Amino acid sequence: MKNQLIILLIPLLPLLGFVLLGLLGKNYLKKSAGIIATMLLLASAILSIIVAGQYFFDYGKAFDVYVKLIAWEIHWLGFTNQLSINIGVLLDPISVIMLVVVTFISLMVHIFSLGYMKGETRFATYYAYLGLFTFSMLGLVLAPNLFQMYMFWELVGISSYLLIGFYFQKPSAVAAAKKAFIVTRFADFGFLIGIIMLSYFGNSLDFITVIQNLSQPQSPAFISAAAPMFLGCSGLTWALTLIFMGGAGKSAMFPLHVWLPDAMEGPTPVSALIHAATMVVAGVFLVARLFPLYVFNGASLQIVLFVGLLSSFIAAVIACTQTDVKRILAYSTMSQIGYMMLALGVSGSSGEASLGFTAGMFHLFTHAFFKSLLFLCAGVIIHVVHSNNMNEMGGLRKQLPLTHAAFLIACLAISGIPPFAGFFSKEEILLAAYQKSKGVYLLALLTSGLTAFYMFRLYFSVFWNKPAQVSQSHATTPVSMKIPLALLLVCTVVAGFISFGSYVSADGRALASHFHLSFSLLPVAVALTGIFLAMWMYKSASGKADAMAKSMKVLYRLAHNKFYIDELYHFITQRIIFNMLGKNAERMDRKFVDGAVNELAASTMDVSKSIKHLQSGKIQQYLLFFFGGIALLLLMFIYLWK
Amino acid sequence: MLEYIFLMKQELMLSALIFLLLIIYLASNNLVTEKVLTGINGLLIANLLLGFWGNPTGNLFGNMYHTDGLIVFQKSLLNFALLVISFMAYDWLKVHRHYLEFYILMLAALLGAFYMISSRHLLMFFLGLELAGIPVALMANFDLGRKKSSEAALKYIMSSAFASAMFLFGAGFIYALTGTLDFFELQKAATANPAFLFAFIFILAGIGFKISAVPFHLWTADVYQGAPVATASYLSVVSKGSVLFVLAYLLFNVFQNIFITWRAIIILLALLSMVLGNLFALRQQNSKRFMAFSSITQMGFVLIALAAGKLMSTSALIYFILVYLFSNLAAFGVIAVVMDHTGREDINAFKGFYKKNPSLAWVFALALFSLAGIPPMAGFFGKFFLVLAVAGSVNYVILTLIALNIVLSVYYYLRIVRLMFMDDAETSLNRISVSRMPKWALWICTAGTIVTGVMSGAYEYIATLVKSVW
Amino acid sequence: MNLSLLIIVPLILAVAGLLVNSQKQVKGIALASGIAQLVLAFWLAISFMLQRKSAVSEFLFQQHFEWFRHLNIGYHIGVDGISVTMILLTAFIVLAGILVSWNVKRMSKEYFFLMQVLAIGAYGFFISLDLFTLFFFLELAVVPKFMLIGIWGSGKKEYSAMKLALMLMAASALVFVGITGLYFFSTTHGVHDFNLLTVADHPLPTDKQKIFFPFVFIGFGIFTALFPFHTWVPDGHSSAPTAASMFLAGISMKLGGYGCLRVAVYLMPAGAQFYSNAIIVLACIAILYGALVTMMQTDLKYINAYSSVSHCGFVLLGIGILTKTAINGAVLQMISHGLMTALFFAVIGMIYERTHTREVSKMGGLLKIMPFISTLFVLVGLCSLGLPGLSGFVAEVTILVGSWQRVGAYYQWATIIAAASIVVTAVYILRATAKVIMGPLKINNSLGEAALAQLDGRPAANWNERAAVYLLAGGIIAMGIAPFLVTDFIYPATDFILQQLSFK
């Protein structure tokens, strides 16, 4: 392929930024770190747009179908003759779309951080970490095989860890970083096993080969994979479920979502980049990547659907009761990702039935813009107010007109109000759900209403309501923070109009846009209901919200405490893993394993002590023993003689 | 006549030395001690060198006395040990009033040992055994002022008498059974009948006493502790070595017909020696007693090798004696030096020893490593070959027991290393200056422990010799 | 190249170090020796690669001298791909160890001498093709450890030194029993031989293999922290001075893994197959249990020592599984763990020198005052928890993939259990990182504010420390990014072991 270099440069430029700033940033490039990183990323973003253009309009299509192209590959680590990890680049519609999204959002965040992180002592380190993250994320989306994906998956995780824990002197940030990493690590454990299983069955690690090998019902690979393995499920189902477990962990799906709200301890631009637009959708991307297998397997796709639905609903409920701005956004992210999962879950393998796939990817695309916009707005707000608590804010629309406008539009977009981006993608998801199952559709609709409610609850609390009492020293927002807002705002407005289906679909063939006015009426109405409800309750200070909370006391408390899932995990880790397993293992090691060694030594000494009277110093006794020895030998000889 | 001289060159030389010393002793009493000692040492060196000249093989006294290359080598080995002991004891003898008597006794004992090694007749063997034993009892009494010393002598002479009685009993029994005491005749006459085995056990007990194999070992610690260091080192190396040489010959030649029986007994004795020696050595606080139990353990390892095939175990045994000679004498040498300077016998005297006396500490440590069987010291090879010899003919359970005993012994050797290198001194220790002669001896021994292992020459020489003779 | 140089050069320089007087000269000679070893190792690696293409035997650069002719003991040396990587590893760690101990004041002459004896033991072990020499060098490396820990160590050093020496001696005693078995029962028509290649061509009858395999395997297993004989590891490592800990975990534990592979599995394939399941159980226990115990530790050195138990469990798992991929993984893990754990100990040592504590609870927020050291701490922690791009990932993943390839639910569960440890590993690494590196600044309370201020002004790391950690970190990263550098050496070599397994 002629533009290998361009494609390779896309991930390598951020890596260069990481290495450069990581090694020299602290001492030499302290001032210019931000500019350097931003420039590198700008180049990267431009290159990815070029690549996207070339792929979609030049070489990507063969016989009207967008094909998967291995643009570049090297042998990296071999296991057996068939199984080996190759590092390479895979181009197909979803990876190209992700390429654009990741570089673009990352660029926005880079620019935004120029202002937001100004004056930070570890400014260069921050940009180094951003570079590392961008590199890893790009490596992830470009991965042509499972293991490369897993590797960059982990790298993404570690960059997330580093960025969440960026304020390393703040214990809560450290704890959150740790939690995020460990929870996703736990999920990755499943992912890893899943990969090993899948590669074992498919006899390859490459996506293309694995999918080929395992989606032919007659092939021996498939037959062995489909044989029941454990608990009545087939090996393939287990493999795909375990892989989905990895995706669920990274995408904060219930019940592995606990890390995401805490992850908001990181700098806000980081939340916008990692915990809203890019990394957290990796799970969706993963399922989409292996989509042919999921569809083919059925059972595992059901799990995806179920988990997605449940997560989106639960997150929405919890979000209604939270007061921390970023946490609300985090739960909304979780909810929206649940939506995407749901969309994949209801999708079929090709043609019209595969609307869900396109819809899910479309939502991923649009969500990236408005969610990062929301987060960046939150960043501005926090920058000004110096608090995360929604209740300490209010009436900010006058001080922050641009932010206000951006926030409002993003809220409208996420609620699914036309003509903003969210409307189009959500619409398609609901339609796909409707076609698949009415129950799913209804619950999704309800979630959509809840989404509108809690987003506008946040909006009204922050921008309307009574003015906040806090000092507002950073009243002026630097230009570098305004530019990304404006750009993202534009994207939020226009992104929905792209005919996404003609580029991205489950089987590579173009899919016509599905816009039916009659169908859209109900979802929009539900969303508007949510908005008005929020307006009624939160636009001005009133006791309505509290009264409402009181009237549903149990439910409210449950939701407010996030259904006590954190406590449950705490119980499991602290009580069971630490106190029961860890402590006892430690005790056993000291008492029994090591104890046995010491006891052996001590008892040898004891024996030595107890026989000391043999050496009494009395010659009579010596001679007696002498004689006894002879007697002993004689006895022995008699024994032998027999 | 010439043949006599030639075949018995080492014995004759020793006898000449003894006479010379007697003459000196009687002739004059205002000699300069240093000069006499230097002279004696010179003669001992000559005696040693003589051993390497010519390689006679032949029998004398109606086949009672036999010599060949291997026997000459064994005697040279003992000669060498004596020389080293003499070097090491230089300081002690220099101020001793009766140094000449000490030499006379020691040489007499060595002469006994020579006869014993060369004997091909049970009577001859017994004569040699007694000659090699009785002077040692006197030597044990040579710390004239110390009560312990005479106690040691007494214990030794009494145990020795008892052991000799047992031996004689066995020998008599054998004579009664077979009508001969000649080794070659015995070899043919030896049968596995109960009475013969009965006699054999008594003989073995008598020999077992000499090499302090458990359960005939109880005298060892007391005698080592009470006797002067020179005597203790003589006991541990020369006395034991000579008996072991003979034992190997006896077992593999004279008693080879009852191999099955003696093998079991030897294994039992060996294991007992290892285990008990180890267990007692673990907690010893007195350095000489410690060396006593250590030597009991070492004898266990030597004995176990006898349970194997003839060639391999004999070479391994002789090689081990060589190695043991270097290591044990080096250890005793350092103990002697320390005792001379501090008057302390307990091993705590070695606490923090390294700080003030690094070279002595290294010498001692290397000797202990060698005794423990840690590479690259020769002791490693010695022990390895001993156990390797036996490995083919015993099962892996016994083999594991042996191996674990080696580990156990490592503990107490390293304990002393630990005292020297890692602990702080209890009292302020002075720097000890070692005079010339002992220093040479220590150097020789240390060099020996290093060189005889890694350089395979010594073992190869011995193995070739054994192969050619047997 | 002449392999004996690997022994002769350090030996000459070690002795030379004893002869000079000033501290500067002693250190200079030690450093020269370390560099010379690294150069030799690289030279070896390159010439090995060049020569292998045309070679018939996998063992190159063989030299064979008779040593004890009557016993068929020879000085027989030669290397295959696995040994070359091990030698490289040793050279890396030796040089880093020498650099790290630059500030040893007390008895530095003896210190460097013993370190080099240890290195000689390791080199000799890795190049031996004769069981006797192999055993010789194995034991040669024990006493220097005892001395290093006992003299320059800290804490309950004498107890630990003695424990380590005795347990390792016991281990070699078992090995000894095993190799005598190999010597006597190898079916070479009555001629007993210690030569590894000869024994490999004439393996023991199966019933004898079943007897002697456990001896050799457990013996070498103790060296590599086989459960339940691992207790020397934590005490020994934590009492040892920094460089000795690096040696112990980085090299000494590899002697065990290498021995298991080269002697136990290679020479007794039937025994290996017979005991495979048992080994896997022990390895899985070591992996998970080691990780759980690590989680409860509060002393940094103990954390690393117990994590070594867990990581070396992976080595044993790979060996026990007996598939090609798993064995490759085991070798990779040895190298990776060697570099990683050495670096970890180096970093812990550097932290200890500055804070005078290793208690996790007494430290906090070190990133603020020692960014360089803290970054390395994080780096090595990440390697330990298997982050891609660093060496640990490559090795662990290879082992896991390989163990799944062995058909049977039993092995698949073993894989899952082993893989579960990566979660626990993440827990303890991140806990330690969170407490020591991150969080509010706190250092050893007894030092107080004044010491803290002084610390702040102090250079983050001296040149020697920097050089040492760059060396090791470079190794970790290089292997993580380009594993083919290492696998090219290993893979053909494991084929030979596999052949042995499949034929007999």
pLDDT digits (tens, 9 = 90+) for C317-347: 999 998 889 999 999 999 999 999 999 999 9
**Is the Cβ–Cβ distance between C192 and C184 less than 8 Å?**
yes
- Mean predicted lDDT score pLDDT of chain A: 84
Q: pLDDT band for A470, please (50, 70, 90 cuts).
A: low
Buried b (16+ CB within 10 A) or exposed e, A290-302: bbbbbbbbeebbe
Minimal C-alpha gap between A617 and chain B (Å):
7
The dihedral region occupied by A267, where left means phi > 0, alpha psi between -120 and 50, and beta the remainder, is beta
Quote the CA–CA distance of B321 and B381 in Å, as a whole number: 12
Of the candidates A560, A538, A567, the one whose C-alpha atom is nearest the C-alpha of residue A317 is A560
Please report the pLDDT score of residue C504 as a whole number. Answer: 44
Please report the pLDDT score of residue C66 as a whole number. Answer: 87
Q: Summarize pLDDT for B281-313 with one digit per residue, the tens.
A: 998 899 999 999 999 999 999 999 888 777 788
Structure tokens at B344: 């302390």
Minimal C-alpha gap between C5 and chain A (Å):
32
Minimal C-alpha gap between C246 and chain A (Å):
22
pLDDT over threshold 90, residue C316: yes
Does B412 touch chain A if contact means CB atoms closer than 8 Å? no
Minimal C-alpha gap between B167 and chain A (Å):
11
Q: Which residues of C touch A597 (CB under 8 A)?
A: 163, 167, 231
Please report the pLDDT score of residue A434 as a whole number. Answer: 86
User: DSSP alpha helices (H): ranges in A298-400?
Assistant: 299-319, 325-345, 355-385
Half-sphere exposure (CA, 13 Å, Cβ side) for A489? 16
Question: Residue for token digits 């490559």?
Answer: C394
Domain ranges of chain C: 275-504
Q: Is C122 exposed, middle or buried (0-12, 13-18, 19+ CB in 10 A)?
A: buried
Judge: A623–B162 Cβ closer than 8 Å, yes or no: yes
Question: Percent of chain A, pLDDT > 90?
Answer: 5
pLDDT over threshold 80, residue A342: yes
pLDDT over threshold 80, residue A545: no
Buried b (16+ CB within 10 A) or exposed e, B376-394: bbbbbbbbbbbbbbbbbeb
Average pLDDT (B176-186) is 88
Q: In A, residues 63-122, which contact C (CB 8 Å cutoff)?
A: 75-80, 83
Q: Is C420 exposed, middle or buried (0-12, 13-18, 19+ CB in 10 A)?
A: middle
Highest mean pLDDT among A387-391, B365-369, C231-235: B365-369
Amino acid identity for residue A147 in this structure: F
Average pLDDT (A316-329) is 86
Question: Percent of chain B, pLDDT > 90?
Answer: 43
Does C368 touch chain A if contact means CB atoms closer than 8 Å? yes
SS3 A535: helix
**Is the Cβ–Cβ distance between B408 and C152 less than 8 Å?**
no
The chains found to touch A (3+ Cβ pairs under 8 angstroms) are B, C
Quote the CA–CA distance of C475 and C493 in Å, as a whole number: 21
Does B384 touch chain C if contact means CB atoms closer than 8 Å? yes
Does B431 touch chain C if contact means CB atoms closer than 8 Å? no
Judge: B279–A604 Cβ closer than 8 Å, yes or no: yes
Half-sphere exposure (CA, 13 Å, Cβ side) for C247? 33
Average pLDDT (A288-294) is 88
Judge: A192–C441 Cβ closer than 8 Å, yes or no: no
Q: Summarize pLDDT for A517-539 with one digit per residue, the tens.
A: 777 788 888 888 888 888 787 77
Does B282 touch chain C if contact means CB atoms closer than 8 Å? no
Judge: C430–A186 Cβ closer than 8 Å, yes or no: no
Contacts of A337 (CB under 8 A, 6+ apart): A251, A252, A253, A280, A281, A283, A284, A308, A311, A312, A367
Of the candidates B285, B302, B69, B282, the one whose C-alpha atom is nearest the C-alpha of residue B208 is B302
Among C325, C419, C430, select the one facing A181 at the smallest CB separation.
C430
Angle at CA of residue C144, ends C138 and C148, nearest 5°: 140
Q: Summarize pLDDT for C259-297 with one digit per residue, the tens.
A: 999 999 999 999 999 999 999 999 999 999 899 999 888
Nearest chain A residue to B260 by CA distance is: A640
Q: pLDDT band for B51, please (50, 70, 90 cuts).
A: confident
Quote the CA–CA distance of A1 and A144 in Å, as a whole number: 15
Q: What's chain B's length in residues?
A: 470
Amino acid identity for residue C441 in this structure: L
Quote the CA–CA distance of A526 and A564 in Å, as a whole number: 29
Quote the CA–CA distance of B342 and B360 in Å, as a whole number: 14
Note if the bond before B376 is cis, omega within 30 degrees.
Answer: yes
Does A515 touch chain C if contact means CB atoms closer than 8 Å? no
Minimal C-alpha gap between B382 and chain C (Å):
12
User: DSSP alpha helices (H): ranges in C130-195?
Assistant: 131-140, 142-152, 157-185
Q: Which residues of C touch A83 (CB under 8 A)?
A: 325, 401
Quote the CA–CA distance of C324 and A79 in Å, as a whole number: 8
**Is the Cβ–Cβ distance between C15 and C23 less than 8 Å?**
no
Average pLDDT (A144-168) is 89
**Is the Cβ–Cβ distance between A129 and A110 less than 8 Å?**
no
The dihedral region occupied by C227, where left means phi > 0, alpha psi between -120 and 50, and beta the remainder, is beta
Which position has the higher pLDDT, A29 or C394? C394
Does C162 touch chain B if contact means CB atoms closer than 8 Å? yes
Does A26 touch chain C if contact means CB atoms closer than 8 Å? yes
**Main-chain dihedrals φ then ψ at residue B66, nearest 5 degrees:** -135, 145
Q: Summarize pLDDT for A53-96 with one digit per residue, the tens.
A: 888 888 877 777 888 888 888 888 888 877 888 888 888 888 88
Note if the bond before B358 is cis, omega within 30 degrees.
Answer: no
Q: Which residue out of A615, A618, A624, A627 would a mutagenesis test of the B interface target, given it has the greatest number of B Cβ atoms within 10 Å?
A: A615
Please report the pLDDT score of residue C29 as a whole number. Answer: 92
Among C68, C140, C174, select the one facing B460 at the smallest CB separation.
C68
Which position has the higher pLDDT, A164 or A517? A164
Half-sphere exposure (CA, 13 Å, Cβ side) for C254? 33
Structure tokens at A289: 């990547």
Q: Summarize pLDDT for C115-147 with one digit per residue, the tens.
A: 999 999 999 999 999 999 999 999 998 889 999
For residue C76, the cross-strand partners are C64
Please report the pLDDT score of residue C350 as a whole number. Answer: 87
Q: Which residue out of B147, B155, B157, B201 would a mutagenesis test of the A interface target, given it has the greatest number of A Cβ atoms within 10 Å?
A: B201
Cα separations in angstroms, B343 against B289, B335, B338, B354, B356: 16, 10, 7, 18, 17
Quote the CA–CA distance of B315 and B53 in Å, as a whole number: 22
Can you give A617-636 as a three-state secondary structure string?
A: CCHHHHHHHHHHHHHHHHHH
Mean pLDDT is lowest, of A465-469, B87-91, B245-249, for A465-469
Please report the pLDDT score of residue C54 as a whole number. Answer: 75
Judge: A630–B162 Cβ closer than 8 Å, yes or no: no
Q: In A, residues 120-139, which contact C (CB 8 Å cutoff)?
A: none
**Is the Cβ–Cβ distance between A41 and A10 less than 8 Å?**
no
Quote the CA–CA distance of B243 and B115 in Å, as a whole number: 11
Judge: A585–C292 Cβ closer than 8 Å, yes or no: yes
